[in-house]
A and B are shown apart, each in its own frame.
Chain A
Amino acid sequence: MDIVEQIVSGDIRATARLLRDIDDEIPSARDILRELYPHTGKAFVIGFTGSPGVGKSALVDQLAICYRKAGKTVGILAVDPTSPFTGGAILGDRIRMQRHFDDPGVFIRSLATRGHFGGLTRSTSDMVNVLDAAGKQVIIIETVGVGQDEVEIANSAHTTVLVTVPGMGDDIQAIKAGIMEIGDIFVVNKADREGSRNTVRELRNLIGLGARKRNGDDWEPLIVETEATKAKGIEKLYEAIEKHRAYFLTTNTEKWRQILQKRAKIQFVGTLKDQALRVLLERIEAHGDSFDEMIQKIVDKESDPYTIAQQIIDRELG
């Protein structure tokens, strides 16, 4: 059996190894991804995002239980930040997902954001494709924060869940810009804390501002209160997610078409950028130019990024 067959048959070791190769940008991974692509498209992809400490891992852990009870296999990609200084990372999301260790129906992978040229997004969506091809029926991506990477990851999910907690008024302010539009479901976790009702009310008001309706999307985002560590509200969250899935699969199939288009576009553009950059960097090197010297010229104002980029493009692609 070769690696492609191993992955399609659900081999855990082979799957884990390919994910690593994708993360490390090993060129052969792309050939394997190409052969896996026809086996993708069956999984339901859920994105979880929110500030550190709001309880995303605990929620994902609980949600995995719900999907296992429903007879679905689950893949989890948990993303934590890389240290910008050392390049190292401590990935601790598994701590809250221990109970699944002897269940072959759950595959959990911790990922560091690193600082890929191609961006975290693309390698993450490649990894979603691997888990999809490996037969995972539900794939959950968990990411920290509300930066651009996270918005893009949300774009590569079918359903996006934004998690917050009571008493983070400023957090909601930060969430407002651009993020409110991407949340299909909002979770107020740690709902036993004071101010939970207020947070729900604030969210409801913000959603009411409705930037999404303009996109032909009449999904009314749902708000769910949970206490992940006590397994409270999880059924409601599960129902909300399934409701959203039913919405785009039956009520608004145009929306489903848009989601698929958007995902394909992000993946294609990401891959193209990544490969084009790789080729250009190789050519720069082959031409005997020094990448570091170019950077230095830009720093010293001997030249500028626009001129150098244009020169390379004219020379190599013109």
Chain B
Amino acid sequence: MEKGRKLRILVAKPGLDGHDRGARVIARAFRDAGFEVIYTGCHQTPEQIVSSAIQEDVDLIGLSILSGAHTYSFPRIMELLKESNAEDISVIGGGIFPLEDIPKLKRIGIKEIFEPGAKLKDITDWVSSNIKPRAGIVLKR
């Protein structure tokens, strides 16, 4: 990691459910762990999330979802990242997921899923050890 490089994380809630307590708590936990959190709140479309993630040059997208709509929004976000040539941005999810969905989500490239009961410290520790800020741009001349 380069000196002074700071991890940037987008925290967003895709879809229609408005229960953002979890997203807010995790945003604070990330802030307290020393990360820069871009918080975009509820009712985000996959297109909004990917557009924000690229403009903000984040290393990680943290999706909070309780509605069950992850079967649509998660794959769509992965698709859009691929289309935008931004597959180097990692994605994790937190919230409520049927157990059988978790392997499916991991197969499409979601790095980790945190279920209810996951400890904040475990989540921030996971991020610290698994997500590294990208390297600086090299000007080739």
Distance to closest chain A CB from B13 (angstroms):
11
Q: Please, which residues of chain B bring their CB within 8 A of the CB of A35?
A: 139
Q: Please, which residues of chain A bring their CB within 8 A of the CB of B54?
A: 12-13, 16
Q: Please, which residues of chain B bring their CB within 8 A of the CB of A82?
A: 36
Q: Please tell me if the beta carbons of B40 and A94 are within 8 angstroms of each other in the complex.
A: yes
Q: Does A237 contact B (CB under 8 A)?
A: no
Closest to B59 in A: A20
Closest to A18 in B: B137
Query: How many CB-defined contacts (below 8 Å) exist between A and B?
Result: 107
Closest to A83 in B: B31
Q: Please tell me if the beta carbons of B34 and A88 are within 8 angstroms of each other in the complex.
A: yes
The bracket for how many chain B residues form the interface is 35 or more
Distance to closest chain B CB from A106 (angstroms):
9
- Interface positions of A (Cβ within 8 A of B): 2-4, 12-13, 16-21, 23-29, 31-32, 35, 82-83, 86-92, 94-95, 98, 101-102, 107-110, 112, 114
Proximity bits, B105-141, A CB within 8 Å = 1, else 0: 0000000000000000000000000000110111111
8 Å CB contact of A94 from B38, B86, B140: B38
Q: Does B101 contact A (CB under 8 A)?
A: no
5 A-B contacts, Cβ less than 8 Å apart? A24-B133, A26-B136, A26-B137, A29-B136, A101-B47
Q: Does B83 contact A (CB under 8 A)?
A: no
8 Å CB contact of A24 from B27, B51, B136: B136
Closest to A93 in B: B38
Q: Please, which residues of chain B bring their CB within 8 A of the CB of A90?
A: 27-28, 31, 37, 39
Contact A21 B136, CB 8 Å, known A88-B35, A91-B38: yes
Closest to A102 in B: B47
8 Å CB contact of A87 from B6, B85, B139: B6
Q: Please tell me if the beta carbons of B36 and A88 are within 8 angstroms of each other in the complex.
A: yes
Contact A94 B52, CB 8 Å, known A13-B86, A20-B8: yes
Distance to closest chain A CB from B94 (angstroms):
16
Q: Please, which residues of chain A bring their CB within 8 A of the CB of B136?
A: 21, 24, 26-29
Distance to closest chain A CB from B101 (angstroms):
27
Distance to closest chain B CB from A160 (angstroms):
25
Q: Please, which residues of chain A bring their CB within 8 A of the CB of B34?
A: 86-88
Proximity bits, B30-51, A CB within 8 Å = 1, else 0: 1111111111110011011001
Q: Please tell me if the beta carbons of B85 and A28 are within 8 angstroms of each other in the complex.
A: no
Q: Please tell me if the beta carbons of B140 and A2 are within 8 angstroms of each other in the complex.
A: yes
Contact A26 B27, CB 8 Å, known A16-B57, A91-B37: no
Contact A3 B139, CB 8 Å, known A86-B31, A90-B27, A91-B39: yes
The 4 closest A-B pairs by CB, nearest first: A26-B136, A88-B31, A16-B57, A20-B57
Q: Please, which residues of chain B bring their CB within 8 A of the CB of A24?
A: 2, 4-6, 133, 136
Closest to A34 in B: B139
Closest to B138 in A: A28
Distance to closest chain B CB from A120 (angstroms):
14
Contact A95 B40, CB 8 Å, known A20-B57, A109-B55: yes
Q: Please, which residues of chain B bring their CB within 8 A of the CB of A20?
A: 8, 57
